[in-house]
Structure 1
Amino acid sequence: MAKKPNLLLIMCDQLRFDVLGCYGNPLVKTPNIDRLAQRGICFDQAYSQTPVCVPARHGLISGLNPFELGLLKNENLAKEIDHPLPELIRKQGYFTCAVGKMHFQPERKHYGFDRMLLSEEIPAHFADDEYLQFLSEQGYGHLTEPHGKRSELYYVPQISELPEHLHTTAWTGDTTCRVIRQNQNRPFFIFSSFIKPHPPFDPCVPYDTMYALEQVPLPVRKEFERTPDDYAIDVMNDYKVNGIDSLTLEDELKMRAYYYGSVSQVDKQIGRILDTLESCGLIDDTLIVFTSDHGEMLGDHYSYGKRTFYEASAKVPLIVSWPASVPQGERREQLALLQDIYASFITASGGIVPEASSGLDLLAAASDPDQPLRDRIFAEVGRGRVMKMMLRWGTYKFIYHTNGGKMNLFNMENDPEEFTDISAEHPELCLQCREAMAQYYQSYGFTEALNGNQLVSYDAQRHVPQGYLDQTPKWPGTVVAADGN
């Protein structure tokens, strides 16, 4: 009987694909992620179907479209997950462990994990979070917001109050390495998930000064995007324009510099994980998948956050490495989704992918660049007037906004920065896209996206920008007294 491969899923939160060296970035230092790419396959057209934390993560572990679980934003599931990924892998004889940020609903639901060692972005209780307990043991239980100040300070660049070795990024790396060493003599599935570079952008010293402001590229945007003509553009994501005029260019460059610093800080820990696999003699027989739940706009198109189908938000890095079975140092152009990770790990473990899953096996495409995967992607995010839907195929991207029935059409080959909306020039193509979307959602009974047999639309409304680039909820009171006093 052939030895089962070990399985390792490494996820970052809010990581843009284009800040990595292996995806063409000449500035940001990511030598370890690049090293992983050299030992595997980079998928260049991978997307988060619903680019916000809870839907993206539950879509991955369920293998389903997030809307099938009632997820279009960060909210509670409307449906139980019948065949969660860790449970199916455990049935194949694997030890299963979650490390870091899961953002599951409910928070401590195991979904088939034998162990959960959590460092959540917003933990509900001190007793639920192993990282907070660790900080208390190290004498830092008095910190009320160890992952950075939230609320109106959410997008203000910050230096972490913690030394690097106690930061959540180091703890997630340390814990992952420990779990690997402890379980090196049996097949394991580890989901190692870093909170960062999710805001607040709070790198430790010396990562706060790793990127000088004069090195940092300006946000990609044009002046006409600052004061859009309609609400449909205004809400391409929740932070569109909101508070943007209160920021100086120096503020924005510093945000980007601290974001880059956070990325490099995570990269160091990924290097330690790879080193641990190598020292244990496991690297060749371990299937590693590296990805993110979604991206971050970082001021591009006068936007911050995610919740949009611009590339910086919806496209994600996706690296598949398994030196014993998959080619190394190659790239693939097939369209991919996070649910494909579900199908790939189940297949590699020896299990059978449930028929209900929308995930497809990445390993076949990784092994053969001519292997088809899917010819188009449907995606959706938001509810009601702020719902947006995307159809991505070939060189085109079509976006439909329920607010006013606004449409965008981009030719990604000619316009990779998404400045030139050509929807008015191609009315027939846009009609075909809307019809294809409507038929697709009808097939799933996704009535929230429909009005009869057409896509739903609302009377167009303008959005009035107000406030800061803030974020709720604040750090919960249930963990403020994390030191037990």
Structure 2
Amino acid sequence: MSRKPNLLLIMCDQLRYDVLGCYGNELVQTPNIDRLARMGVVFDQAYSQTPVCVPARHGLISGLNPFEIGLLKNEGLSREIEAPLPELIRQQGYHTCAVGKMHFHPARRHYGFNRMLLSEEVPSHFDDDEYLQFLRAQGYGHVIEPHGKRSELYYVPQISELPEHLHTSAWTADTTCDVIRQNRNRPFFLFSSFIKPHPPFDPCVPYDTMYAPDQVPPPKRREHERTSDDAWIDVMNDYKVNGIDSLSREDELKMRAYYYGCVTQLDKQIGKILDTLESCGLIDDTLIVFTADHGEMLGDHYSYGKRTYYEMSAKVPMIVSWPGTLPEGERRDQFALLQDIYATFVSAAGGKVPDASSGVDLLPAAGRRGQPTREKIFAEIGRGRLFKTMLRWDRYKYIYHANGGKENLFDLLADPDEFNDVSAQHPELCRECREQMKAYYSGYGLDEALDGGRLVRYDETEHVPRGYLDQSPKWPSTVIAEME
């Protein structure tokens, strides 16, 4: 009997698909992610169903729609995950290990991982975070907030206080490589999860100067999106940054330049992982999936962050590589979701995908052109007035907003930048979308989406956006005291 394939999931946090060379970017240097794309299959229509950290990650490891476990934003689960991915893989004889950012609550909830080596974005305790312990052992315990200064500086471009070899991206890659070498003689499932390029955008030297701001493309947007008589942006993205309307063009471009620097710095570390697989003779025996939990608006449509169904927030990169088993250097336009990784890995490990899972095994689609995955995607995020839902099919995207019952319809083939809302020109099509949404959410009993026999709607009010002054938690004082 042939050996089971190793399973490697590489996830980046807040990574836009369009900053990668394999997705058409000609400026940002991503040679190693592009190398992985040449070794595998690129999915061009992959989405994060609930584009914010906690729901996206838990939807992936549960194989369920995030709302089925009570997640519509960054919040606690209301239902236990009955068949978590690491546990199902472990039952197939795998060593399972988590490295980097998991964002689980509590932090060391193992879900079937044999071992967890963590570098969390906002750790709750020093003893829970191997990266903080590493920093102190290296003499850098005095660096408060080693992932960048948060709070008021959350979206202010900054240079990391750490040398590159001690940065969280390097630690995550180096630790991943150690795990690969230690387990080269037995099948492993390794979830390697990078914090970056999540804000703060804090590249190390020399990545801070790699991209000149005056050479960086400006955000994609139109003036009508910021006018006071058009509430479009407030309902499309409730995470607009305070003061964004007064940012200078220089500030905006510098922010984008530093984000690009974080991406290239990260790409170098992913190259280390690929090199280690090759030097250990494991590259052909390893099924690799590369993705992100969601994207980053980065000024497009006058927005920053995620929590919206614009493409740059909800669409994610997804590369599936298994040299010698899957095609190399090919692309697929079938729809994919993060929980499809669940079904893909369980199937590859020889397990049975639970009937309750909403994931689809991507290996048939990756292996053969035209193999169907799903015809449409339903997606949802937020609670109360901030609830919004998307229906994505064919060339179209329909978005419904509980705030005022506003709706958007985009023809992405004709309007890939999503500037032209054509909902007014297609009222019957929009009505059909609403009917599909009502039937879908009624089937799940999702109360957040429904009000009697219709989609939930609140009287429109002006939304006061939350921004970098209060949008991210400060590090707990207990952690700071333990680091010193």
Partner of 2:316, secondary structure, is: coil
Q: State the 1:214 CA deviation.
A: 1.6
User: Is residue 21–residue 31 contact of structure 2 (8 Å, CA) maintained in 1?
Assistant: yes
SS at match of 2:178: helix
CA distance in 2, matches of 1:42, 1:467: 34
Q: Which residue of 1 aligns with 2:428?
A: 428
In the alignment, is the contact (CA less than 8 A) between 1:439 and 1:453 conserved in 2? no
Q: Distance in 2 between matches of 1:455 and 1:324?
A: 48
How many residues matched? 484
Are 1:22 and 2:4 counterparts?
no
Partner of residue 348, structure 1: 348
In structure 2, the partner of 1:331 is: 331
Residues 136 and 482 of structure 1 are in contact (CA less than 8 Å); yes or no, is this contact kept in structure 2? no
Aligned ranges for residues 182-221 of structure 1 at < 5 Å? 182-221=182-221
- CA displacement at 1:242 relative to structure 2: 3.2
Q: Structure 1 counterpart of 2:181, which letter?
A: R
8 Å contact from structure 1 (residues 226, 241) kept in 2: no
- 1:244 is matched by which residue type in structure 2? I
Question: CA–CA distance in 2 between the matches of 1:470 and 1:321?
Answer: 40
Structure 2 residue aligned with 1:147: 147
Partner of 1:270 in structure 2? 270
Describe how 1:68-147 pairs up with structure 2 within 5 A.
Answer: 68-147=68-147
SS in 1 for 2:389: strand
Q: Deviations over 1:77-101 (max 9, x none)?
A: 0000000000000000000000000
| 1:205 counterpart letter in structure 2 | V
**What is residue 260 of structure 2 aligned with on the other side?**
260
Secondary structure of the corresponding residue to residue 108 of structure 1: coil
CA distance in 1, matches of 2:117, 2:123: 12
Q: Per-residue CA shift, 1:266-311, capped at 9, x if unaligned?
A: 1001000000000000001100000000000000000000000000
Conserved in 2, the CA contact under 8 Å of 1:101 and 1:194?
A: yes
- Taking structure 1 as the reference length, the TM-score comes to 0.98
**Residues in 1 aligned to 2:163 and 2:200: alpha-carbon distance in whole angstroms:** 16
Give, in angstroms, the shift of residue 465 of structure 1: 5.2
Give the structure 2 partner of residue 292 of structure 1. Answer: 292
| Cα distance in structure 2, aligned partners of 1:370 and 1:9 | 25
Offset at 1:453? 2.3
8 Å CA contact retained: 1:100, 1:194: yes
> What's the CA shift string for 1:307-340, capped at 9, x where partnerless?
0000000000000000121000000000000000
Query: Which residue identity is paired with 2:340?
Result: D
Q: 1:465 to 1:118 in 2, by over 3 A?
A: closer
Aligned to 1:60: 60
2:178 corresponds to: 178
- Alpha-carbon deviations, 1:201-246, whole Å to 9, x = none? 0000000001011210000000111125354531322333632123
Change (3 A) 1:115 1:451: same
1:382 aligned partner: 382
CA distances 1:180-211 after superposition (whole Å, capped 9, x unpaired): 00000000000000000000000000000010
Structure 1 residues 425 and 241, CA gap change in structure 2 (3 angstroms): farther
What amino acid sits opposite 1:53 in the alignment?
C
Distance across 2 between alignment mates of 1:360 and 1:195: 26
Measure how far apart 1:394 and its partner are. Answer: 0.2
Q: More displaced, 184-193 or 136-145?
A: 136-145
Bigger drift between 405-414 and 101-110 goes to 101-110
Residue pairs, 1:31-70, within 5 angstroms: 31-70=31-70
Cross-structure match for 1:403: 403
Corresponding residue number in structure 2 for 1:455: 455
* Structure 1 contact 99–172 (Cα < 8 Å) conserved: yes
CA displacement, residues 14-38 of structure 1 (integer Å, 9 cap, x when unaligned): 0000000000000000000000000
Verify the 8 A CA contact 1:97 1:113 in the aligned structure 2: yes
The amino acid across from 1:214 in the alignment is D
* Alignment deviations for residues 240-264 of structure 1 (CA, whole Å, 9 cap, x no partner): 3632123111111011000000000
Q: Is the 8 A contact 1:50 1:379 kept in 2?
A: yes
Q: Counterpart in 2 of 1:393?
A: 393
Cα contact 1:132–1:482 (8 A) shared by 2 = no
One-letter amino acid of the structure 2 residue matched with residue 47 of structure 1: Y
> In structure 2, what is the Cα distance between the partners aligned to 1:475 and 1:208?
24
Distance in structure 2 (CA, Å) of the matches to 1:57 and 1:304? 20
Confirm or deny: 8 A CA contact 1:442 1:453 kept in the other structure: no
Alpha-carbon contact 1:144-1:479 (below 8 Å) kept:
no
Aligned residue type for 1:336? A
**Alpha-carbon deviation of 1:142?**
1.2
Rounded Cα–Cα distance in structure 1 between residues aligned with 2:384 and 2:354: 31
In structure 2, relative to structure 1, the CA distance for the partners of 1:7 and 1:241 (3 Å cut) is: closer
Q: Is 1:5 aligned to residue 1 of structure 2? A: no
- SS of 2:378's equivalent in the other structure is strand
8 Å CA contact 1:296–1:305 kept in 2: the answer is yes
Q: CA RMSD in A?
A: 1.1
The secondary structure found in structure 2 opposite 1:481 is helix
Q: Which amino acid aligns with 1:405?
A: G
Which moves more between the two structures, 135-144 or 124-133? 135-144
TM-score, structure 2 as length reference: 0.98
Q: Letter of the aligned partner of 1:54 in structure 2?
A: V
- AA aligned to 2:261 is G
Change (3 A) 1:448 1:239: closer
Instruction: Name structure 1 gaps, 5 residues minimum.
Output: none
Q: Report the counterpart of residue 279 of structure 1 in structure 2.
A: 279
Segments of structure 2 that go 5 or more residues without pairing to the other structure are none
2:418 corresponds to: 418
Shift of 1:467: 6.2
Residue 101 of structure 1 contacts residue 121 of structure 1 at CA under 8 Å; is this kept in 2?
yes
Q: Shift of residue 454 of structure 1?
A: 1.3
Bigger shift: 241-250 or 161-170?
241-250
State, as a whole percentage, how many aligned pairs show the same letter.
77
Secondary structure class of the residue paired with 2:269: helix
For the 8 Å contact 1:154–1:470, the answer to whether it is kept is no
C-alpha distance in 1 between matches for 2:103 and 2:224 = 37
1:170·1:269 contact (CA, 8 Å) conserved in 2?
yes
Q: 1:373 matched to which residue of 2?
A: 373
Amino acid at match of 1:365: A
CA distance in 2, matches of 1:268, 1:360: 31
CA shift, 1:466, in A, is 7.2
Which segment is superposed worse, 447-456 or 215-224? Answer: 447-456
Q: Confirm or deny: 8 A CA contact 2:87 2:113 kept in the other structure.
A: yes
State the one-letter code of the partner of 1:33.
Answer: I
Cα offsets for 1:133-164 (capped at 9, x unmatched): 00010111111111000001000000000000
